[in-house]
Amino acid sequence: MCGIAGYTGKRKASEVVVDGLALLEYRGYDSAGIALFNGQGNLQITKKAGFVSHLKKAVYGKEGCCGIGHTRWATHGIANETNCHPHCHGKFCIVHNGIIENFATLKKSLQKKGKKFLSQTDTEVVAVLLDEFYKGDVLDALGKVAKLLKGSFAIAILCHDFCDRIYFLKKGSPLIVGVGQGENFVASDQLAFVHYTDNVVFLKDNEMGYADSNNVFVFDFCKNKKVLHVEKSNAKADNVAKPPKSFMHKEIFEIPKALRMTANDFFNDEYKKQKAIDIFSKNDKVIMIGCGTAYNACLVGKLVWEKVLHVSAEVDLASEFRYKNPLVSKGTLVVAVSQSGETADTLRATKLAKSKGADVVVITNVAHSSITKNADLVLHTKAGQEVAVAATKSYATQVLLFLCIACVLSKDSKAVKEIKKQIDDLPYLATKALLCDTVVAKKAKEFCKKQGTFFVGRGLDFPLAIEGSLKLKEISYMHSQGFAAGELKHGSIALVDKNVLVVGIITQKKVAEKTINALHEVSCRGAKVLVVTQFDKMANEAGCHDVIKLPGATDLLMPILAVIPLQLFAYHVSVARGINPDKPRNLAKSVTVE
């Protein structure tokens, strides 16, 4: 987590850096800070708790053409100005993304030598170490310090002796250099400098270097110079303009387009389809991994592949998979799903799978993201930039890709023809599903004061219940839980009373009646019940319940269509409770720490 932006050139660094940080707020927004060399070579530090907009006001008009900034997601130390980056010691001032796992040991030994620390962060130890090792050659100090650090880090550094240079250090966390004309940039994501240059260098692990306004130099940690690979950026400036309502609402309404783009991209790529067939035929075991919403997409993917391909798949949380010595070897296919492609646990789990001989297929929304480097095949969800912290359109496209892959792998040509026809109709059906927005907003207002919400469903509706629940709690702070509809009665029904809302998801023909039974059981215990269904009959049978009606479609498409009212419900509850749905507390869009 955390976002780094740095600039050196002729422009006002305060403006370039702060605008860059604003575009990186998806990585965290607990506090923001900046270090600027003013024209006289003096370093000015400004820090603010809270959003980048607070920092923007504080640095408005400040002079200086070289600076580094940081937007923080707190890991070590509370979110106040003291723990806010940059952290400085002696001649060095640094911003950091990642976690220094051995910081406590390093800090103790530095304290024994009499070094004073101001913050509770792991980062400050790096600034102190750099100053300790610095004998006039910054690269020398960087290399020595890098070798001492355990964990992951992307660090941008200013040194008082070189007031037009940004030094950098990378291992495990993303760091990118933007190459301009007479100006250069360093950032966690290309987005930070999308308005200035599309020439980028994706730094690799165990690399360090520096940029001034005219040059970029990259070295390994032993100071061996490396050849610079400048590539074209794929970040787009027009995707990040602030919408009138919120990014989340806008992004939910982009689902139809995202679905069309994703299906077209996949089905028109003969190479990728053939590669998918080759990889699948080589393996006899499938494991799907991800975190958060991406994990929930895997839960759907597993059921879709079971139904269409008649293969069983395991699904694991990436954070569990990587620490349990997973049963993976040659012959295992690991499908790793990650919107950002930067989630630390998914990244490390994917590397582990590869090192154990597995074939790895990655489903990601971000081309060039770190996870793509470990993949035998990369499949892109074409959702476009997703800015709101809560994943919406990316989830819909992840599930769609599982379905698309199943179409290509299935030998049942009749079934495939039918599913493909439905996929063609998906954007239209999703547009119809979005029509429920007004009704959902009304229901959200009505239910926004409930103490808690259970989401229940069976079959493909079960993972959907889990995803609906995750969405609600992350942006509305209302307690909620997703359940298999038949499981609620085995204990958790004890929590049900008139203060509880139960959302029943009924989209799967075979098990629809059974889910209705579960809803009657909670309704007669006082719970309010909201039904999300594609069936008119169920809507009527639900009788006393509130109903959100979905367009009719084949069962396999419903995890994509029925998620729309669930996302909208979470959004409207969040707004009704006076919360900013785009930036919920304690969260970040991309979790690049373990």
Q: Which residues bind ligand G6P (CB under 6 A)?
A: 291-294, 338-340, 343, 346, 389-391, 587, 589-591
Q: Which is nearer to ligand G6P, 134 or 295 (CB)?
A: 295
Angstrom CA distances, 15 to 21, 24, 47, 193, stand at 10, 14, 15, 12
Minimum Å gap between C-beta 287 and ligand G6P is: 16
Q: Which is nearer to ligand G6P, 51 or 196 (CB)?
A: 51
Q: Which is nearer to ligand G6P, 391 or 496 (CB)?
A: 391
**Catalytic residue chosen out of the listed positions 48, 56, 302, 589:** 589
Q: Tell which residue, 164, 170, 146, 169, has the closest CA to residue 215.
A: 164
Q: Is 291 a catalytic residue?
A: no
Q: Which is nearer to ligand G6P, 122 or 474 (CB)?
A: 474
What secondary structure does DSSP assign to 123-141, as a single string? THHHHHHHHHH-SS-HHHH
Q: Which is nearer to ligand G6P, 145 or 291 (CB)?
A: 291
b/e map 366-402, b = 16+ CB within 10 Å:
bebbbbbbbbbbbbbbbbbbbbbbbbbbbbbbbbbbb
Is residue 109 classed exposed, middle or buried when 0-12, 13-18 and 19+ CB atoms within 10 A define those classes? Answer: exposed
* CA-based R_g, the chain, Å: 25
Minimum Å gap between C-beta 591 and ligand G6P is: 5
Backbone angles phi, psi at 432, to 5 degrees: -65, -40
Minimum Å gap between C-beta 578 and ligand G6P is: 21
**What is the C-alpha separation between 533 and 562, in angstroms, rounded?**
8
**Catalytic residue chosen out of the listed positions 2, 84, 163, 448:** 2
Q: Which is nearer to ligand G6P, 146 or 291 (CB)?
A: 291
Minimum Å gap between C-beta 336 and ligand G6P is: 9
Decide: 68 and 95 in contact? Cβ < 8 Å: yes
**What is the C-alpha separation between 514 and 506, in angstroms, rounded?**
9
Q: Is 589 a catalytic residue?
A: yes
Minimum Å gap between C-beta 589 and ligand G6P is: 5
Q: In this structure, what token pair is assigned to residue 279?
A: 């990889």
Residue nearest to ligand G6P (CB): 292
The residues facing 209 across adjacent strands are 168, 218
b/e map 275-296, b = 16+ CB within 10 Å:
bbeebbeebebbbbbbbbbbbb
Q: In this structure, what token pair is assigned to residue 438?
A: 């007004």
Minimum Å gap between C-beta 562 and ligand G6P is: 18
Minimum Å gap between C-beta 254 and ligand G6P is: 16
Q: Which is nearer to ligand G6P, 124 or 342 (CB)?
A: 342
Q: What residues contact 2, with CB distance under 8 A and at least 6 apart?
A: 27, 28, 70, 71, 72, 73, 85, 95, 96, 97, 98, 188, 592
**What is the C-alpha separation between 338 and 369, in angstroms, rounded?**
10
Catalytic residues: 2, 589
